[in-house]
Amino acid sequence: MSSVAGERDFLPTAPIENLRLRAALLEAVRAFFRDSGYLEVETPLLSADATIDPNLSPFVTRYLHGNSELYLQTSPEFAMKRLLAAGHTAIYQVTHAFRNGEIGRLHNPEYTIVEWYRVDDTYRQQMGVVEELVRHVFMVSRAKAGASKERAQAFTTSRPFGRLSYKEAFERHAGFDPLTIGLEEMPKIAASRGTVPPPGLAADDRDGWLNFLLVEMVEPNLGQNLPEFVYDYPSSQAALARIRRDDPPVAERFELYIRGIEICNGYQELTDCEELRERIRECFPDSSSTMKRLLNSRLIDAMEAGLPECSGVALGFDRLVMLAAGAESLAEVMPFPFSRA
């Protein structure tokens, strides 16, 4: 390690009071789910299955005497859905997720994820669960010595969190309807703002353009006064969420933003196995090994057997602690981020 810190690299990057807060909030999360009737589960970090999201890169490894690749989970989604298919009704876990190549102020390749599912809940009901959880966590944070008044005020408001659709978020902050806008309009909007698009952004990459304008124009304004949900995403960004056949269709997904930072991702879960197969075929090039693996995954088998209607949420625990601590980067609330792992 050639860092300036040199021999001091053994030290944690997070101050001890932040690690104390982290421990208290971890307890608070567990208490919240226990009291809400969720069962804590543990599933393998190392799995033969990996994500369907083509924008995620898993860490790949092998068993010493095995032939096939194994993956460090990018989330416990597959395994937890297998538990739901086997009869569980309300489950949660606090575990580690791994995402190769993702590093920055708000990203660490290994991080702590809180993920939960409840059968028969809708994604709208689960927005309520997220709101209760986040309130509970900030209440515990405020009660801890060291939580500054200013910070506490910002998060302990009794006003309901904001809720706006993806369409409304773009209309409010970027001035256009993201579901219907023509491809040729988005470069003009970027130009009128004086922002230069990424050089490799193809003219026909609709989701790429939406993503770029989301980061440039929308995200920085989200959740600035009050935590704010964004819901009903373009159907092309559904991942494993159910698509509602509105005109135009939308993916029943939501995210929570606090001060421009994305905190969680929730779905009305896709339960139709045939539709999942179609999405896998669309996402990955013909007969690629990834496509074959996904089509043979145990998630497919579980959904074939019957995944009950349910909603699930994945939440970035480190980011929540960061906000509660008034910190600016994940390194301030993790003992050993990637550079010191």
Partner 1 sequence: MSMISTSDFRKGIKILIDGRPYLMETCEFRKPGKGQAIYKTKLRNLLDNTLLDRTYKSDDSVEGADIREGKGSFLFKDKTSFVFMDANTYEQHSLTPEAVGEGHTYLVEGTECGMIYWNDRLIGVMMPNHMVLEVIYTEQAPRGNTATNVQKPATLETGATVNVPAFINIGDKIRVDTRTGEYLERMKG
In the block, tokens 């597959």 appear at 78
* One residue of 59, 212, 336, 338 binding partner 1 per CB under 8 A: 212
Q: Helices 298-306 and 273-283: crossing angle, nearest 10°?
A: 150
* One residue of 196, 247, 286, 287 binding partner 1 per CB under 8 A: 196
* One residue of 215, 226, 305, 341 binding partner 1 per CB under 8 A: 215
Least separation in angstroms between residue 268's CB and partner 1 is 15
The encoded tokens of residue 271 equal 């339960």
Q: Does 121 bind partner 1 (CB under 8 A)?
A: no
For partner 1, what does the binding mask look like between residues 232 and 271, x meaning CB under 8 A? -x---x-x-------------x-x------x--x------
Least separation in angstroms between residue 104's CB and partner 1 is 3
* One residue of 109, 128, 208, 308 binding partner 1 per CB under 8 A: 208
Among 315, 302, 313, which Cα is nearest to 84's? 302
Least separation in angstroms between residue 330's CB and partner 1 is 11
Q: Kindly state the helix (H) or strand (E) to which residue 142 belongs, with its residue range.
A: helix 123-143
CA trace torsion 314, 147, 136, 252 (10° rounding): -30
**Side chain identity at residue 198, one-letter code:** P
Span 30-59, contacts to partner 1 by CB under 8 A? 53, 55
Least separation in angstroms between residue 5's CB and partner 1 is 16
Q: Rounded to whole angstroms, how far apart are CA atoms 87 and 167?
A: 36
For partner 1, what does the binding mask look like between residues 67 and 106, x meaning CB under 8 A? ----------------------------------xxxxxx
Least separation in angstroms between residue 197's CB and partner 1 is 7
- Residue pair 113/318 in contact by the 8 Å Cβ criterion: no
- CB nearer partner 1, residue 66 or residue 104: 104
52 CB-near residues (< 8 Å, 6+ apart): 239, 240, 276, 279, 280, 283, 294
Question: In 286-337, which residue ranges form alpha helices assigned H by DSSP?
Answer: 289-295, 298-306, 317-325
Least separation in angstroms between residue 24's CB and partner 1 is 28
Q: Does 168 bind partner 1 (CB under 8 A)?
A: no
Q: Does 4 bind partner 1 (CB under 8 A)?
A: no
Among 183, 277, 165, which Cα is nearest to 222's? 165
Only segment of 15-23, 30-38, 132-140, 200-208 that touches partner 1 (CB under 8 A): 200-208
Among 141, 333, 190, 161, which Cα is nearest to 255's? 161
309 CB-near residues (< 8 Å, 6+ apart): 119, 120, 269, 271
Site of interaction with partner 1 (CB under 8 A):
53, 55, 101-107, 195-201, 207-208, 210-212, 214-216, 219, 233, 237, 239, 253, 255, 262, 265
